[in-house]
């Protein structure tokens, strides 16, 4: 069930049977010479949308801008400051909680978001504590590649050249969902260098084409489809487990 394609009455009916909502979250940033700028928000959105077709999940609109300052050396990247990002996450969660949602599950597609999302959760929990709100409200963060079984498939598909940015696994997921947007390039070197992540000009100088340790040329739509199928099944199970959590007496 997609929140943005639902009416308010349908959401009210959903709340009668579930207080859990899934929010795909990512970033709009460069992903090398063949990766789409939306890769990091598209991957969790693709997986969540696939999961809700077979599981009883409510998927909120995708939070598609995140922490991407170090990619600003590449045109098309859009970034939020940590304070802005935290405030926006807080408002999203408080809006949903106002309607009765108690379990808010963020499916993340950008590693650079993790620290700030966790800090936003801490702010929400502190506010709830100071306000003396009833127990039960909880947020969860899950990177899509950490869903059960996903990384094992990626390691089998890409035993070398997977890397940490513009990876063939994430490129494959977008290729499966958007075959008309597949790009090609001659990579030099075939496997990109790796190293530290600092500010934008340093990143551009170290990683001229935007890749980190990866060879996206290995990606195919078929590999992406296998990854999406596993991730969607694992997401359904993980959300069900989260929904079933009961606050201690």
Q: Considering the domain boundaries, does residue 216 fall inside one?
A: no
Residue 218 is assigned to a structural domain of this protein = no
Hey, what are 84's tokens?
């802005």
- Tell me how far the alpha carbon of residue 134 is from its chain's centroid: 29
Model confidence pLDDT, tens digit, residues 133-187: 666 799 999 999 999 999 999 999 999 999 999 999 999 999 999 999 999 999 9
189 CB neighbour count, 10 Å cutoff: 9
pTM of the predicted model as reported, rounded to 2 decimal places: 0.97
The verdict on residue 59 lying in a domain is: yes
Domain containing 110 equals 3-156+231-244
Site of tokens 């590649």: 145
Q: What is the CATH number of the domain that holds 78?
A: 3.40.50.10310
Name the one residue in this structure whose structure tokens are 């993340």.
Answer: 108
Residue 96, preceding bond cis, omega within 30 degrees? no
Per the structure, the count of domains in the chain is 1
Q: Give the CA distances from residue 214 to residues 3, 86, 176, in Å, rounded to whole numbers and listed in that order.
A: 35, 30, 19
183 falls within a domain: no
CA distances from 20 to 85, 96, 178, 187, 238 (A): 22, 10, 29, 43, 12
Q: What is the per-residue pLDDT across 9-29, written as a single tens digit (0 to 9) for each?
A: 999 999 999 999 999 999 999
CA 231, distance to chain mean position in Å, is 12
Contacts of 125 (CB under 8 A, 6+ apart): none
Q: Which residues are 143's β-sheet partners?
A: 108
For the stretch 28-81, pLDDT in tens is: 999 999 999 999 999 999 999 999 999 999 999 999 999 999 999 999 999 999
DSSP code, position 133: P
| Within a domain: 195 | no
What 8-state DSSP symbol labels residue 61?
P
């Amino acid at each position: 069930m997609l929140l943005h394609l639902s009416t308010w009455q349908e959401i009210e009916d959903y709340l009668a049977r579930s207080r859990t909502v899934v929010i795909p979250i990512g970033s709009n940033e460069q992903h090398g010479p063949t990766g789409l700028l939306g890769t990091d928000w598209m991957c969790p959105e693709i997986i969540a949308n696939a999961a809700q077709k077979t599981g009883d999940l409510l998927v909120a609109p995708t939070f598609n801008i995140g922490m991407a300052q170090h990619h600003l050396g590449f045109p098309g990247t859009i970034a939020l400051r940590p304070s802005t990002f935290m405030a926006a996450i807080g408002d999203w969660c408080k809006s949903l909680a106002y309607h009765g949602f108690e379990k808010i599950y963020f499916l993340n597609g950008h590693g650079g978001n993790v620290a700030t999302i966790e800090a936003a959760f801490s702010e929400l929990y502190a506010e709830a504590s100071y306000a003396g709100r009833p127990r039960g409200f909880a947020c969860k963060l899950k990177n899509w590649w950490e869903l059960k079984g996903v990384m094992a498939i990626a390691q089998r598909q890409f035993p070398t050249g997977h890397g940490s940015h513009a990876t063939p696994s994430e490129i494959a997921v977008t290729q499966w969902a958007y075959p008309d947007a597949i790009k090609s390039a001659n990579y030099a070197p075939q496997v990109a260098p790796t190293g530290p992540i600092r500010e934008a000009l340093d990143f551009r100088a170290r990683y001229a084409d935007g890749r980190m340790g990866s060879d996206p040329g290995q990606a195919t739509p078929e590999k992406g489809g296998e990854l999406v199928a596993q991730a969607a099944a694992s997401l359904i199970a993980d959300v069900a487990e989260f929904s079933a959590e009961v606050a201690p007496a």
